[in-house]
Amino acid sequence: WRGRLSLNPLVHLDPIGLLMLWLFRFGWAKPVEINPSYYKEPKKGMILVSLAGPLANLILAFITMIILKLDILHNGILDNFIYILFLYNLTLAVFNMIPIPPLDGSKILTGLLPARQAYELSQLEAYGPFILILLVYFGLLNTVLSPLIVFVHKGLDILSNLVLLRF
Evaluate if residue 98 carries a pLDDT over 90: yes
Asked if residue 167 has pLDDT above 80, the reply is no
Domains in the chain: how many in total?
A: 2
What's the pLDDT band for 1 if we cut at 50, 70, 90?
low
Residues 24 and 83 in one domain: no
**Residues 157, 89 share a domain:** yes
Do both 135 and 99 map to the same domain?
Answer: yes
Q: Do residues 8 and 90 both lie within one domain?
A: no
Amino acid 86: pLDDT: 98
Q: Check residue 165 and give its pLDDT.
A: 92
95-134 residues labelled b (16+ CB within 10 A) or e (exposed): bbbbbbbbbbbbbbbbbebeeeebeebeeeeeebbeebbe
Q: 6-15, 40-49, 66-75, 80-89: lowest mean pLDDT where?
A: 6-15
Residue 50 sits in the same domain as residue 14: no
**68 & 125 share domain:** yes
Confidence of residue 103 (pLDDT cuts 50, 70, 90): very high
Statement to judge: residues 45 and 80 lie in one domain: yes
Percent of the chain with pLDDT over 70: 98
Question: Average of pLDDT values for 40-47?
Answer: 92
- Please indicate, yes or no, whether residues 122 and 47 belong to a single structural domain of this protein: yes
Structural domain boundaries enclosing 11:
1-33
SS3 107: helix
Nearest 5°: CA angle at 77, between 58 and 88? 25
Do residues 55 and 128 both lie within one domain?
yes
Judged against a pLDDT cut of 70, whether residue 5 lies above it is answered with yes
Residue 106 CA to residue 119 CA, distance in Å, equals 11
Same domain, 52 and 132: yes
Strand, coil or helix: what is 8?
Answer: coil
Cis peptide upstream of residue 42 (ω within 30 degrees of 0): no
pLDDT at 112: 95
Residues 81 and 102 in one domain: yes
Is the model's pLDDT at 32 over the cut of 80?
no
